[in-house]
Amino acid sequence: MLSLLTGAPMSAAELGRELEISQALASYHLRFLVDAGAVHLVEEVANRGGRERRYRYSADECSASETGSSTAPAEPESHELMLTAMLEELRRRHGQRAPSGPELTVDAELWVGEEEWLAFRDALATAAVRLHEAAARPRTRGTTHVTVTALLFEMDP
């Protein structure tokens, strides 16, 4: 949902259609994202006599906590849940990869100086925000459907 809400504001109904789930299930999960402060209401539009609320995810608003600026460490259970969700999403996305498209695979466990580590982490965070800002509504003509997954952290010596 966060990925879809990066490219354009979407309602629960639009998310449900794109994810091939019910509007009720999309709305249920969307409420959790709103309560967690991960997505924000950006517009309400009239739709068939009702009001349709559209939400958006902003990578730059969340980048402070992702780059270590937050003072409150996340609970270990939160890290485990996020890792599990990322692994499942990576499996799903890998099943949809274009076999002939350009790709980059990186895996490393290294010892580097703190200055180099922080510079790399910050450069990747900046690149991620840039890519999020360039995101368009799903299936927009002239766009390429891509995936980026990164998990960077310091190891316990």
Is there a domain that residue 114 lies in?
yes
104 lies in some domain: yes
Looking at the structure of the chain, the number of domains it has is: 1
The range of the structural domain enclosing residue 79 comes to 4-134
Does any domain span residue 38? yes
Q: What is the pTM of this model?
A: 0.69
DSSP track, 7-50:
HS-B-HHHHHHHHTS-HHHHHHHHHHHHHTTSSEEEEEEEETTE
Q: What is the DSSP string of 109-127?
A: -----HHHHHHHHHHHHHH
In this structure, is residue 140 part of a structural domain? no
148 domain-assigned = no
Residue 87 resides in a domain: yes
Domain CATH for 124: 1.10.10.10
Token pair, residue 3, equals 């990925």
Would you give per-residue pLDDT tens digits along the chain (157 residues)? 888 898 889 999 999 999 899 999 999 999 988 988 889 999 998 888 888 999 998 776 554 444 444 434 567 777 788 788 889 888 988 998 998 888 999 999 999 999 999 999 999 999 998 998 888 888 899 999 999 988 899 998 8
